[in-house]
Structures are given as structure tokens and as C-alpha cells.
């Protein structure tokens, strides 16, 4: 009974968008701030334990960089695995289009880039995502070039029903590609 009551007081939101992480060349959106003082990574040539990169990556509705803009992914990632290709990610998804325009989602967690699908945590948000909980299924969609990786992010968030729903509230179920 308590579970049904809790479910009635919350709503589920599923968003899908694509993150364009460009580490070099024209349109660069990711810059290495710290060259890690740790040992060279055995599986990632040129990388060192502790390497830290700051990002301001474009989010789009589709995998093409020419797709409609959905927002920005702003934050950082750090090479956190001594022997595994693991990144520690901390970023804010700032939505700039669609019904969630102006809202943000905080995403943190472990990104084992050797796995086909990785799961990171939704650790809150603002606007329509105030007090959000949930997870992000994160996968590499494709490599545009050596310096441009496209990631597909499926965000599954639960927010209190008391948080204002965008628009007419009919976008609560199913996938909203923004």
C-alpha cells in the first residue's frame, strides 16, 4: 500500500539525447585540465591515472551533430582506474529546448568505457527535475573521428508529482526525444 501511495506522488520521465564529446580540432568541447601524475594507463595509450577533462558538450536529439539542439552537458571526467578504463563523471545536463527548457539534471558515477552500456546516477536537478532520482544508461553510439565521440544517454528520472510538469503534462510516459 505504501508503494502505491509513493508512486502516486511521483512521476517517471524518460529522455533520450546524444552527447558530442569533441576532444580536439575544430569545435572542441572537451579540454584536458590536468595531466594525471599517476602511472601511464596500460590500455589507454597516452592516458595517465588522474587525467582530468572539463566538458561543455552539445546535446542533440539525434546522433548527428546537425540534429536539433537539446542542451549542454557541462562538468568533468577523470581517469579513475589504475588498470581498468574507468572514468569518474560529474556533470550537469542543462536542457535548452523542448518542454524541459531551463531545467537541469545532475549526473554522477563510474563510466567503464569498456562496457557496451554503463549506468550512472541521477543525483538531483532543477526546474522540472527538482529532487529527481534515477539513472542514466550511457552507451557509445558512434565515433565520428578520433576526436569526436557520440554518446547516447537514456535518462530515467523519478520526480515528485508536486514538481511542476512541463506543458500539459502529457509527456510523462514513454520516451521524449529532446
Q: What is the pLDDT of residue 4?
A: 55
Start-to-end CA span in the chain (Å)? 35
Q: How far is CA 83 from CA 3, 4, 48, 87, 109, in A?
A: 42, 44, 10, 12, 18
Q: What is the pLDDT of residue 175?
A: 47
* 47 has pLDDT over 80: yes
Q: What is the pLDDT of residue 56?
A: 99
18-163: CATH class: mainly beta
Domain ranges of the chain: 18-163
Q: Give the mean model confidence (pLDDT) for residues 40-61.
A: 92
Q: How far is CA 20 from CA 1, 47, 49, 102, 121, in A?
A: 43, 20, 23, 20, 20
Amino acid at each position: 500500500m505504501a508503494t502505491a501511495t509513493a508512486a502516486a506522488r511521483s512521476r517517471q520521465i524518460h529522455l533520450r539525447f546524444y552527447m558530442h564529446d569533441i576532444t580536439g580540432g575544430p569545435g572542441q568541447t572537451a579540454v584536458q585540465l590536468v595531466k594525471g601524475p599517476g602511472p601511464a594507463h596500460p590500455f589507454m595509450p597516452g592516458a595517465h591515472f588522474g587525467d582530468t577533462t572539463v566538458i561543455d558538450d552539445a546535446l542533440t536529439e539525434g546522433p548527428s551533430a546537425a540534429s536539433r539542439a537539446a542542451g549542454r552537458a557541462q562538468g568533468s571526467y577523470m581517469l579513475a582506474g589504475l588498470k581498468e578504463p574507468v572514468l569518474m563523471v560529474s556533470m550537469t545536463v542543462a536542457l535548452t529546448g523542448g518542454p524541459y527548457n531551463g531545467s537541469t539534471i545532475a549526473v554522477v558515477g563510474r563510466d567503464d568505457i569498456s562496457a557496451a552500456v554503463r549506468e550512472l546516477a541521477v543525483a538531483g536537478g532543477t526546474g522540472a527535475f527538482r529532487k529527481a532520482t534515477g539513472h542514466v544508461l550511457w552507451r557509445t553510439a558512434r565515433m565520428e573521428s578520433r576526436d569526436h565521440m557520440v554518446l547516447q544517454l537514456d535518462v530515467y528520472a523519478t520526480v515528485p508529482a508536486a514538481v511542476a510538469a512541463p506543458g500539459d503534462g502529457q509527456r510523462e510516459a514513454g520516451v521524449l526525444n529532446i
